[in-house]
Structure 1
Amino acid sequence: MSSSQRKDLGRALCIITGASRGFGRTVARELSRLVKPGSVLILTARSEENLRSLEVELAGSEAGKSGLLVQCVPADLAQMAGLQSVVSASRAAFSEHIDHVILVNNAASLGDVSRFTSSFTDMAEVDSYLSLNVTSCLCLTARLLQALPPRPGLCRSVINITSLCALQPFKSWALYCTGKAAREMMFRVLAAEEPDLRVLSYSPGPLDTDMQLVARSSTADPDLKKTFSDMFSSGQLLTCEASCAKLMKLLLEDSFTSGAHIDVFDL
């Protein structure tokens, strides 16, 4: 542990996309424990019911009782109205007392992994996937950076939840690999353009989530499908909690190179 590691993440405004389940839900829980009283968590996802249950959970936690404000913004981030609702809520919560803005771009979809690349002939289908997984991510990040501008004493961190698929080809995962690779380069460019930002692409590893269930049941490539099934049956999948703990350690230590890709197995 670095001797200069922070004890907390400050009085933070945290915006977490895809917060209703899986890794995003765990990130919200862990961030709530590491921010100072007076911090705000903006939680967004398409499922309002799951968001509300998380809001109730966090409100009853120690952090909630000591002054953490949790706000749910049910939204489809592939739609302009959804983006704007998140930006508006974030701008309203951006008080002079906030000293750390943390954006966690976690929302993503797997896409149709039951088919190979040569089957994707419908432009509308591909555009729809990229709209949610790439376009909305870029536009939300850009709008939030404009709405929450730099000022003295303010740290701004942008976290991209990525994957090994951003770096390596997975047969029958053309959409997912393309989306993750595009997002990773997007955030590398952002880090190069704005050196005052702290930008991180974090790969949480193979997690025991609903997405992994779809992966091992629907993947078209037989070898890849068997790999996922074997990982599940042999207990090699990581819990969201174990992986998220390493992300939180990265944020507290704050020693990563901005724009870097860091995998859970690197730590």
Structure 2
Amino acid sequence: MSSTQCTDLGRALCIITGASRGFGRTIAREMSGLVKPGSALVLTARSGDDLRSLEAELAESEAGRAGLVVECVVADLGQMEGLGSVVRASKEAFSEDIDHVILVNNAASLGDVSRDAKSFTDMAEVDSYLSLNVSSSLCLTASILQAFPQLPGLRRSVINITSLCALQPFRSWVLYCTGKAAREMMFRVLAEEEPDLRVLSYSPGPLDTDMQKVARSRTADPSIRKSFSDMFAQGQLLTCEASCAKLMKLLLEDSYTSGAHVDVYDL
């Protein structure tokens, strides 16, 4: 843990899930500008077209022109085959010069927010949600840690993109709140078990994204729906860029307590 802010993230292998749009896409852009030459980005999402457009954008960037390697993996992380393809691509992108492995668990779905908890009687529906939002996050993290074990001179960081919903109940958001709470505890346990690992749960705040659009249009609970609509109408939503800048500052300063939940409004 350093006491002064670094100016870069090292010669890094950055693995970013849900990288095709929204906050994940912004993380990919920002990280690409903070890694040293010889770094690699492994970007995964379900949307191939969006991933390919991001890959082209990064290739044209200063980092791309300096030789940043970008690997795109079109995958459903809710399936074992998808996880396997991300791990394989990460191993292939790794070189002996890499001194920092960074995994960003960003991929998530909102779930059906148009219903109350008592409507979820279909176990297959709930299992499907938890597979993508909880199980895949644990299994991918475990697989990456096994693929890149602790070695002298190799830093390893795991970032969990979390939410206020991990800490507070939101009516009609039972799936999302449950998934975020489970993930947060998962990474707190990981931080306890792996003292050499840097673990952070970062809550980016209410972002102006497609997910927020769904939240304010489909949320069943009228008071929750109104609060999101009011934030949008009053210009209180954060841009992905503004929130991501604070995440990058956190990672560069590297002074957070491993396993901590840090909210954008705490910074």
* TM-score bucket (shorter structure): over 0.9
Structure-2 change in CA distance of 1:178 and 1:3 (3 Å): closer
The equivalent residue for 2:33 is 33
User: What TM-score, normalized by structure 2, do the two folds share?
Assistant: 0.99
TM-score, structure 1 as length reference: 0.99
CA offset digits 1:6-64 (Å, max 9, x no partner): 01000000000000000000000000000000100000000010000000000000010
The match for 1:14 is 14
Q: What is the CA deviation profile of residues 102-150 of structure 1, one whole-angstrom value per residue up to 9, with x for unaligned ones?
A: 0000000000000000000000000000000000110000001001111
In the alignment of these two chains, the number of paired residues is: 266
Instruction: Indicate the SS of the match to 1:109.
Output: coil
C-alpha contact 1:94 1:148 (8 A) present in aligned 2: no
Displaced runs of 4 or more, over 6 A: none
Where does residue 264 of structure 2 map in the other structure? 264
Match of 2:70 in 1: 70
Aligned to 1:150: 150
- Residue type at the aligned position of 2:123: M
Match of 2:84 in 1: 84
Question: For 1:3 and 1:205, how far apart are their aligned partners in 2?
Answer: 26
Q: 1:3–1:118: structure 2 CA closer, same or farther, 3 Å change rule?
A: closer
Aligned residue number for residue 189 of structure 1: 189
Give distance in 2, aligned partners of 1:94 and 1:55. Answer: 18
What is the aligned partner in structure 2 of residue 252 from structure 1? 252
Q: Verify the 8 A CA contact 1:115 1:220 in the aligned structure 2.
A: yes
Paired AA for residue 63 in structure 1: A
What residue identity is the alignment partner of 2:159? I
Query: How large is the RMSD of aligned CA atoms in angstroms?
Result: 0.8
Alpha-carbon distance in 2 for matches of 1:82, 1:206? 29
Q: What are the within-5 Å matches in structure 2 for residues 117-266 of structure 1? A: 117-266=117-266
The 8 Å contact of residues 3 and 255 in structure 2, kept in 1 or not, is answered as: no
1:195 alignment partner AA = P
Distance 2:102 2:212 in 1: 27
What is the deviation of 1:4?
1.4
Alignment of 1:32-71 (within 5 A): 32-71=32-71
The separation in 1 between residues aligned to 2:137 and 2:3, in whole angstroms, is: 34
Tell me the secondary structure at the aligned position of residue 34 of structure 1: coil
Q: Give the residue type in structure 1 aligned to 2:24.
A: G
Whether the aligned pair in 2 keeps the contact of 1:155 and 1:197 (CA below 8 Å) is yes
Any idea what SS the aligned residue of 2:262 has? strand
Distance 2:58 2:65 in 1: 9
- Aligned letter for 1:151? L
> 2:9·2:34 contact (CA, 8 Å) conserved in 1?
yes
Where does residue 101 of structure 1 map in the other structure? Answer: 101
- In structure 2, how many angstroms separate the alpha carbons of the residues matched to 1:260 and 1:232? 29
Amino acid at match of 1:234: Q
Residues 150-184 of structure 1: CA distance to partner in whole angstroms, max 9, x if unpaired? 11111000000000000000000000000000000
Unaligned stretches of 5+ residues in structure 2: none
Tell me the distance in 2 between the aligned counterparts of 1:6 and 1:225.
Answer: 41
Task: Report the alpha carbon displacement of residue 92 of structure 1 after superposing the two structures with TM.
Answer: 1.4
Which stretch of the first structure deviates more once superposed, 186-195 or 89-98? Answer: 89-98
Shift of 1:94: 1.7
The Cα shift of 1:230 comes to 0.3
> Any idea what the Cα deviations from partners look like across 1:223-259, whole Å, max 9, x if unmatched?
0000000000000000000000000000000000000
Kindly indicate whether the alpha-carbon contact (under 8 Å) linking 2:201 and 2:260 is maintained by their aligned counterparts in 1: yes
Amino acid at match of 2:35: V
Percentage of pairs with the same residue = 81
Name the aligned partner's letter for residue 41 of structure 2. L
**How far off its partner does 1:93 sit?**
1.6
Distance 2:111 2:73 in 1: 24
